[in-house]
Amino acid sequence: MDIRVRHASHAYGGLAVLSDIDLVAPAGKILCLVGPSGCGKSTLLRLMGGLERPTSGAIELVGAPPSGCLNELTFVFQHFALLPWASVEGNVRFVLDHHRLSEAERAEIVADVLARTGLADFAEAWPRQLSGGMRQRVAIARALAVRPAVLLMDEPLSALDSQTREILMEDLVGLWTRAPFTAVYVTHNLAEAVRLGHAVAVMSRRPGRIREIVAIDTPLSERRPDDPELERVQARLWSLLRDEAIDADRELVDG
Amino acid sequence: MVDLSPARQPREADARPVPFRGGGFAPGRNRWAGLVVFVALIAFFEVGTRTGVISSLTMPPPSAVAQTLWRLVETGLLWQNLGPSLYRLAMGSLVGCGAGILVGFAIGLFTLARAGLVPLVSALFPIPKIALLPLFVIWFGIGEGSKVALIAFGTFTPTVVATFGAVDGVDRGLIRMAQSFGVPWLRIVTRVVLPDALAGILSGLRVSLAIGIVLLVAAEMLGARYGIGAYILEAGALYDLERLFAGVVILSVLGLLVSAGIGALERRLLRWRG
Ligand SMILES: Nc1ncnc2c1ncn2[C@@H]1O[C@H](COP(=O)(O)OP(=O)(O)OP(=O)(O)O)[C@@H](O)[C@H]1O
Ligand SMILES: [Mg+2]
């Protein structure tokens, strides 16, 4: 299922945050979204996920969701958003409980996603007992449990240290390679964008527009951290972002 | 290789341990400290009254109070007074706290309830509830009704305030998360808002129930045949200090039990906080 943003603009009060965004996240691909701080990436993601309505324009879903899909548009949050009073398993079950499923189906889904994210041994643990990386794995397991049509990920790795981030990136690549999912992936980290994105959309500073969309053809599973092709793309992304970032930074200082 | 060895080797005698500056700010559990305080206080008064340092006109010896308490148990007078009191407290606080939690949730969740009820609650809170007893007698009769209503009313306002404060403090990120997974509204309230607000609600209940006990005694002093309050009033009128203190001890024990009950509830329900 594709998700399509058509001429969407958004403003908070008088503050124009997004201006005439036209964007397609194609099915089975990861679309990364980069842009200077405050350019409206999180806002765009919330619009795509139906948590807010655009001031003008439209967000459309094109095509049928995958079979067995329980929640088409599913978020993975930067700060995990786990229920602290529920165990790892309880957190996954929380998003399944209101669906019409037999207990056997539920148990099967929970066991499956915990196994896929390497959490099978931690089903009974409380979130506070887990490291940041493990917590985000729980959030990813929870998102996978509802068989999403589109995963909306807002800086899912930026609360983690760089080693954990590297490992989780590999996990995401592994998850995608085994069962391709559609994702919109917001990040500040260009290395992350070129490792995970089939395409990277670069946004301008506020009010955010799509400045350019850079496609990366190397298959995800063949990308290496020191791949010269990826480094070239990353340098290009940085040159696109640099001026915007400098201006955005100055704007905040002056404002 | 970078040389990380210090430029000058300090003498071993210069070495000293890093002073510890952490710790504290995390009161733990200790069953005995509370008991020791009670025992010490009782022993002090026992010795004081026996040796005559404390006049028996001002303070009965704790042993005499204990004997009075025992007689109360033996003659069945204890239950005769405690039974009605417990009933009133239970009914009153059940109604008051129950309604308070519901209204608190409404204020925390709905704009209209907040706009309409917060001023009302603020206006009701400072009214000394005991002053309204005559009014309640007219409304609910001289019997149990007025006493239960008084306790219900008195526990209602603090429970409302604690509950809506707790609901206001619920993590918005978790609510957003639940919404993004399509969790229905009622389920979000019961499985996200309620657990997150529970700590605040329970600590509110502690206060509400203590207020309930105070009002219970006050109501019983103003008109009841049986009840701890009536018993204390009667003892006071006769200057029977032993019985007066026996009544006070019963109230203190009641307060302790309520507090222990809520503590147990907290440990059970808030286990996840570790
Ligand atoms: N609920 C809101 N009400 C008012 N203004 C908001 C709201 N949410 C975001 N904004 C403003 O909209 C602008 C874009 O915010 P947004 O969070 O989408 O940016 P972002 O690109 O995700 O930034 P960052 O890279 O720092 O995460 C910011 O200037 C922010 O202050
Ligand atoms: Mg953001």
Over the stretch B15-46, which tens digit does the pLDDT of each residue have? Answer: 888 888 888 888 888 888 888 998 999 999 99
pLDDT score for B3: 67
B272 in contact with A, Cβ within 8 Å: yes
Please say if the pLDDT value at position A41 is more than 90: yes
Residue A255's pLDDT band, with cuts at 50, 70 and 90, is: very low
Residues in chain B, how many? 274
Q: Kindly provide the residue ranges of all beta strands, DSSP E only, lying in B12-106, ordered along the sequence.
A: none
User: Mean pLDDT, to the nearest integer, of A118-138?
Assistant: 94
Residue B1's pLDDT band, with cuts at 50, 70 and 90, is: low
Over the stretch A52-93, which tens digit does the pLDDT of each residue have? Answer: 999 999 999 998 888 889 999 999 999 999 999 999 999 999
**pTM of the model as a whole:** 0.86
**Cα distance from B185 to chain A (closest Cα, Å)?**
11
**Cα distance from B21 to chain A (closest Cα, Å)?**
25
Residue B253's pLDDT band, with cuts at 50, 70 and 90, is: very high
CATH pick for B64-268 out of 1.20.120.1200, 3.40.50.2000, 1.10.3720.10, 1.10.287.70: 1.10.3720.10
Structure token digits, residue B64: 């005499």
Of all residues in chain B, the one with the smallest CA distance to A126 is B272
User: Can you list the domains of chain A with their CATH numbers?
Assistant: 2-254 (3.40.50.300)
**Domain spans of chain B, in order of start:** 64-268
Distances from the Cα of B199 to the Cαs of B98, B104, B190, in angstroms? 16, 14, 14
Residues 6+ apart with CB under 8 A from A58: A5, A6, A7, A8
User: Mean pLDDT, to the nearest integer, of A208-212?
Assistant: 92
pLDDT score for B102: 97
User: Mean pLDDT, to the nearest integer, of A202-219?
Assistant: 92
Mean pLDDT of chain B: 91
Over the stretch B85-101, which tens digit does the pLDDT of each residue have? Answer: 999 999 999 999 999 99
Structure token digits, residue A203: 């946004």
B19 in contact with A, Cβ within 8 Å: no
Over the stretch A215-252, which tens digit does the pLDDT of each residue have? Answer: 999 999 999 888 899 999 999 999 998 887 777 777 66
Q: Which of A156, A84, A225 is nearest to B270 (CA)?
A: A84
User: How many CB atoms neighbour CB B58 within 10 A?
Assistant: 8
Which of B179, B180, B191 is nearest residue A94 as measured by Cβ atoms?
Answer: B191
Of all residues in chain A, the one with the smallest CA distance to B182 is A71
Residue B8's pLDDT band, with cuts at 50, 70 and 90, is: low
